[in-house]
Structure 1
Amino acid sequence: MSGAHTLPNQLPPIHSFLTTRPQTTLSRLYARPSACLAVFRLLDDVARQIVMSLLWLDSKTGVDLTSWVAPNETARKHYTAAVQGLVRLHIAKDGNGRILVLPAFQAGLRRALTGGGDHRSFGVPFPIARGKDAMTTEQLDDYALERWESILHFMVTSGSAVGRVAPPSNAVIFLLRRSGLMVPIGVEKSPESRITSQGFQFLLEDSHTQLWDLLLQYLAMSENEGRDLVEVIGFLFMLGSMRLGQEYSTENLSDTQNVMLQDFLDYGLIYRRYPDDGTRFYPTRLATTLTSTSSLSFTSSKHEKAASEGFIILETNYRLYAYTENPLQVAVLNLFVTLHSRFENLVVGRVTRESIKGALANGITADQIISYLTVHAHPMMHKNSPVLPVTVQDQIRLWELENNRLKSDNGYLYEDFNSQGDFDLVLSYAKQLDVVLWENREKRKMFVREDGHENVREFIRRRAEA
């Protein structure tokens, strides 16, 4: 048994979430064969090999697999980490080195692999549509990409592009705020939002990671609302086990899962040919790849292909050329690039001090900007070492340092005191309140924070009346 490429204890986000759940919850979840198969598919190579080696054994005491491990430290670390991960997921039990697959997971995965039973945890196919009513995988991909990019576009433009791109639902906007990807502009309940530094980092991730980031927040929100977590997670795993292009019936779904079905229309995970028809639905590629370890790719979209290949050329004179017509990619660039010209498949702009300052003001960091430009650099740029011009990278970081040197605060300037004694008394009182931001005793001036202004002014008024 050899080691995998990454350490097994680096669990996928959904596995990390499951490890915090009690064993009773996971036992109920593992009663669904689709859930067992989904969890198994997301295990690393070593953990999957351990499970498959023990799945068909009925030993009550477990099996010692250490003799299968290659005699080197790296292999032993991988094996130990894989076992620990299985134990945390309540898939296996480790008794003095003897590994035993727990009955709940063993029975569920066996049923998933052999078929049979009436559990319907993999969904109930709807009769295949014919002719013009049948949906192709390309149509489903286009729909899913359009819905998903509308969410990302809203994040980037803070909703200012209404009309060109349909905005997401209020439920999606609420989840974006709850996730810390966006914050309201002004008061807490303001309908307007802006992207955060965490939100920009979110844009740097691939679609599969982005989707799970939001779904984990959805799981936490569902739990807070009192929904049955097993029903919620079970439905996600059911979607991940479905076949793209197949229409499914809703007859086996619970009330909670029907609510989720409606929610997931907003994210592009679900498509309905007839919006008012609650009896059937199509899972899109966003849904069917939930439990896949491969990266998500919409092969029918030229936008997705351009993004994966890279489309940005950045010159040493700070001029930028972006070979794209995707509104989302253009909107992202507009966060930190001054755009000058836009053609059919080309956008021309320049990285300027003002454009970087604007991005920094929104919480985006210099490293995030450089990372985005590097990740999406044109293949021609990757012939360079480093990929981006060093002068441009250094200047972006210098602009960030310059921005960090300056800090502004709202407040009030106090001056024109009658005597040094009056100034010292007021200054002493303001310091007791801890509201002094700046002082100059020689010129009898001080600057007081906005929240301390009323108290200091009232102190001066009382002294004047005394």
Structure 2
Amino acid sequence: MPTADGTTDDQQEHRLHALLPFLQTQSQTSLTRLYQRPSSCLSIFRLLGAVERQLVMNLLWLDLPIQTSTMSSWVTREGKALFDDALASLARLHFLSNNSAIKLGLSTTFKTSMRHAITGGGTSVSFGVPAEPDENRSAPSIDALDAYALERWETVLHYMVSSGTGQTPIKPSQGVLFLLQRSGLMAMNQGQLQITSSGFQFLLHTPHSQLWELLLQYLQMVEERQMDLVEVLSFLFMLSTMELGREYSIESLSDTQRAMLEDLRDYGLMWQRRASSRRFSPTRLATTLTSSLPPLPTATSTGGAKDQGFIVLETNYRLYAYTDNPLQTAVLNLFVTVKWRFPNLVVGAITRESVRKALLNGITADQIISYLTTYAHPQMRKNRPLLPVTVQDQIRLWELERNRIKTQEGFLYTAFASQADYEYVLNYARQLDVVLWENAAKRCFFGSVEGHTNIRGFIERRTGGSGG
């Protein structure tokens, strides 16, 4: 059955989690170190597709490897491609022993840790060390943690959509701003950070996808920050297996992991009473990192559940947004002329000027249409097509109107002495593939900057150095 993003349920089931391709590029040595921690093995197992998980569970309790041909004989002809893809994926993650072409078996390190994760065996502290109860202070409630995570996360998103528009949103930390720039979600424009086309597309994703997109960029920066990648990954996986509403001690954390506490606080993944506190509480953003559960307590946040649509669009370009969320209103301001605001309703219109403003910020017509489709009100979803065709076409026409003129630097060659001279030089420029425009009636053509030196030299040689 097709979903809101145009994929089928089967395609979604077999779609790789964004972290898996990153893990598959890591060395076997690094992954073996990572697999020494039961929480890491359990977390990565959660991210696998259904076939990969089934294979792991079939092999986990075998004391000896099984013949590859034996397991292949259990697979139907229709499932052979999925089976082969699953084995290849597990091999790239170094889950399998080295002779997997002949016999199938899990690597010793992964198998031992995964068994401990499931049965609770061993003395590993990879799942965190709960802090001793404090008689003077109680642990924060789940509601308080949810409110904190939502406020921190929406601060980041609200700054993205409001910066450069004349508004003064709360400014995130310098670390957050640096990461937004490095990931291409924001760019410096006339001395101000502004959202990019990639940043607007980022707003269409679910909070879970948004969070992992930023965390992957964080992982890419680990080496230049001289942090241990295995320690960083193991801490993220540890957080994903912790209990929401419980306090944990930082005593068992490495120096790298303690340095991460400040970074992750900025995104709302964890709460600490003070920066110097010896205990912390993971929020729902952290405990659902490798889960299918929603990472935020409400679906009203941008990127929330797609069935929580709030936009009604009419054929006269009038738009009604049933929301009191400041973030959603700020996003609409990027491409809508807002006329009235009520406690739970925003009224505006999509105009030529508002779309041109969005295009200047790098937002495309297709992205605007995609946003309107993604967050269309349930009442709108009864329409076929969902959005008025006239509005969609007009948004695209406004984009074409802006893109119909293209500027490019170059040189105009004119005033040739004869038609023969003009054609001779023109043919030479064509051979160099630097002709951008030509007019035979007026004996002139326009060439790119890159080809000017060669064309000028050719003309000078033909005219004996007298120019042309």
The TM-score with structure 2 as length reference comes to: 0.84
CA contact (8 A) 2:245 2:282 kept: yes
Stretches of structure 2 that go unaligned for 5 or more consecutive residues are: 1-8, 453-464
CA contact (8 A) 1:306 1:324 kept: no
Q: CA deviation at 1:89?
A: 0.5
**2:180 corresponding residue in structure 1:** 176
How far, CA to CA, are the matches of 2:434 and 2:267 in structure 1? 47
Task: Write the mapping of 1:12-51 to structure 2, written as runs, cut at 5 A.
Answer: 12-51=17-56
Q: CA deviation at 1:448?
A: 10
Task: Write the mapping of 1:147-226 to structure 2, written as runs, cut at 5 A.
Answer: 147-158=152-163, 160=165, 163=168, 165-186=169-190, 192-226=192-226
**2:93 corresponding residue in structure 1:** 89
* Counterparts in 2 of 1:17 and 1:130: CA distance versus 1, 3 Å: same
How far, CA to CA, are the matches of 1:88 and 1:34 in structure 2? 20
Q: CA deviation at 1:301?
A: 6.6
- One-letter code aligned to 2:213: D
**2:292 corresponding residue in structure 1:** 293
Q: Is residue 2:235 matched to residue 1:241?
A: no
* Counterparts in 2 of 1:160 and 1:357: CA distance versus 1, 3 Å: closer
3-state SS in 1 of match to 2:222: helix
What whole-Å deviation, never above 9, does each CA across 1:373-411 have from its counterpart, x for those lacking one? Answer: 001000000011111111111111111222221234689
How far, CA to CA, are the matches of 2:13 and 2:345 in structure 1? 43
CA contact (8 A) 1:318 1:352 kept: yes
Q: CA deviation at 1:183?
A: 1.1
CA contact (8 A) 1:62 1:99 kept: yes
**2:10 corresponding residue in structure 1:** 5
CA contact (8 A) 1:141 1:300 kept: no
How far, CA to CA, are the matches of 1:158 and 1:435 in structure 2? 40
How far, CA to CA, are the matches of 2:34 and 2:314 in structure 1? 54
What whole-Å deviation, never above 9, does each CA across 1:5-33 have from its counterpart, x for those lacking one? Answer: 34876421111101000111100000011
3-state SS in 1 of match to 2:243: coil
* Worse overlay, 108-117 or 29-38: 108-117
Q: CA deviation at 1:114?
A: 1.6
3-state SS in 1 of match to 2:140: coil
Q: Is residue 2:335 matched to residue 1:336?
A: yes
3-state SS in 1 of match to 2:25: coil
What whole-Å deviation, never above 9, does each CA across 1:86-124 have from its counterpart, x for those lacking one? Answer: 111001246346321111110110111122333211111
**2:381 corresponding residue in structure 1:** 382
- One-letter code aligned to 2:71: L
* Counterparts in 2 of 1:340 and 1:65: CA distance versus 1, 3 Å: same
3-state SS in 1 of match to 2:280: strand
- One-letter code aligned to 2:228: D
What whole-Å deviation, never above 9, does each CA across 1:124-156 have from its counterpart, x for those lacking one? Answer: 111345787431111111111111111111111
How far, CA to CA, are the matches of 1:125 and 1:254 in structure 2? 16
CA contact (8 A) 2:129 2:252 kept: yes
Stretches of structure 1 that go unaligned for 5 or more consecutive residues are: 454-462
- Sequence identity (%): 54
* Worse overlay, 253-262 or 302-311: 302-311
* Worse overlay, 76-85 or 237-246: 76-85
- One-letter code aligned to 1:196: T
**1:101 corresponding residue in structure 2:** 106
* Counterparts in 2 of 1:132 and 1:301: CA distance versus 1, 3 Å: farther
Task: Write the mapping of 1:65-464 to structure 2, written as runs, cut at 5 A.
Answer: 65-69=71-75, 71-73=76-78, 75-93=79-97, 95-96=100-101, 98-128=103-133, 133-158=138-163, 160=165, 163=168, 165-186=169-190, 192-275=192-275, 277-299=276-298, 308-408=307-407
- One-letter code aligned to 1:314: L
* Worse overlay, 49-58 or 432-441: 432-441
- One-letter code aligned to 2:72: T
* Counterparts in 2 of 1:413 and 1:77: CA distance versus 1, 3 Å: closer
How far, CA to CA, are the matches of 2:321 and 2:390 in structure 1? 19
* Counterparts in 2 of 1:122 and 1:450: CA distance versus 1, 3 Å: same
3-state SS in 1 of match to 2:122: coil
CA contact (8 A) 2:337 2:349 kept: yes
- One-letter code aligned to 1:180: G
Q: CA deviation at 1:81?
A: 1.3
CA contact (8 A) 1:128 1:246 kept: no
* Counterparts in 2 of 1:293 and 1:317: CA distance versus 1, 3 Å: same
- One-letter code aligned to 2:215: L
* Counterparts in 2 of 1:95 and 1:413: CA distance versus 1, 3 Å: closer
CA contact (8 A) 1:365 1:400 kept: yes
CA contact (8 A) 1:32 1:119 kept: yes
- One-letter code aligned to 1:32: R
CA contact (8 A) 2:206 2:304 kept: no
How far, CA to CA, are the matches of 2:86 and 2:237 in structure 1? 22
Q: CA deviation at 1:78?
A: 1.8
CA contact (8 A) 1:156 1:332 kept: yes
How far, CA to CA, are the matches of 2:205 and 2:357 in structure 1? 22
Instruction: Report the number of matched residues.
Output: 448
How far, CA to CA, are the matches of 1:194 and 1:300 in structure 2? 26
* Counterparts in 2 of 1:119 and 1:410: CA distance versus 1, 3 Å: same
CA contact (8 A) 1:159 1:167 kept: no
The TM-score with structure 1 as length reference comes to: 0.84
3-state SS in 1 of match to 2:251: coil
* Counterparts in 2 of 1:450 and 1:398: CA distance versus 1, 3 Å: same
What whole-Å deviation, never above 9, does each CA across 1:401-457 have from its counterpart, x for those lacking one? Answer: 222212346899999x9x99xxx9xx99xx99999988989999999999999xxxx
Q: CA deviation at 1:160?
A: 4.9
CA contact (8 A) 1:136 1:245 kept: yes
* Counterparts in 2 of 1:7 and 1:383: CA distance versus 1, 3 Å: closer
